[in-house]
Amino acid sequence: MPSAIIFDLEFTAWAGSLESRWLRPGEFKEVVQIGAIRVDANSFDEIVPFDALVRPRINPAISDYLVALTGITNAAIGSRGTDFLSAYERFVAFADGAPIVAFGRDDLVLTHNLRLYGIADATPLPRYVNIAPWLADNGIDPRGLHACDIAQAAGATFEGRRHDALDDARSVALGVKTLVARGARNPLRQDTVAP
């Protein structure tokens, strides 16, 4: 059964980070959560989830803004969070060579964290697919949207916590499933996904 990994990230942010593009002194997009689901590439049914909390290194205490946005607390990071490299390698192992799919360029956030932390010998990411152009081709203007918005933008009902990486990955999967059910080309099939 062919499968794909749909994933999302949460990373450190402060009020105004998005508008300033994380260019203010001391602000970096340090990953704090990797959420993913392996889906059947034909039916989009979820096979198994992946969820990892990550301890940021440069800004180890996450901002009140991020806590309010994501629901991730410093206590949760302290008790369940792992080092970025450990979470990254577990995610790559979870993908097990299947293509990884996200809304936007979350692959660049992962590789940025590798560079930020000086990690040169990490396992390379599998083939990456940015689903945003496919959504645009199918009538969803991705500008201003987040992964948590995709199910609703496609006409489905989002169930879950907005800005929780695992729930947001499920939102993307549901949005894709909804559009394919209406006749859109399947973006997860090996013969239709550009490298």
DSSP letters for 153-189: HTTPPP-S-TT-HHHHHHHHHHHHHHHHHTT---TTS
Least confident of 20-24, 121-125, 134-138, 146-150: 20-24
- pLDDT tens track for 80-100: 999 999 999 999 999 999 999
Distances in Å between the Cα of 91 and the Cα atoms of 31, 144, 165, 180 are 13, 27, 13, 26
- pLDDT tens track for 159-184: 899 999 999 999 999 999 999 999 99
pLDDT, residue 195, reads 37
pLDDT, residue 190, reads 56
Tokens of 149: 């918005």
Q: Report which of 144, 121, 120 is spatially closest to residue 132, judged by C-alpha positions.
A: 144
Q: Percent of the chain at pLDDT above 90? A: 90
The domains located in the chain, with CATH, are 3-129 (3.30.420.10)
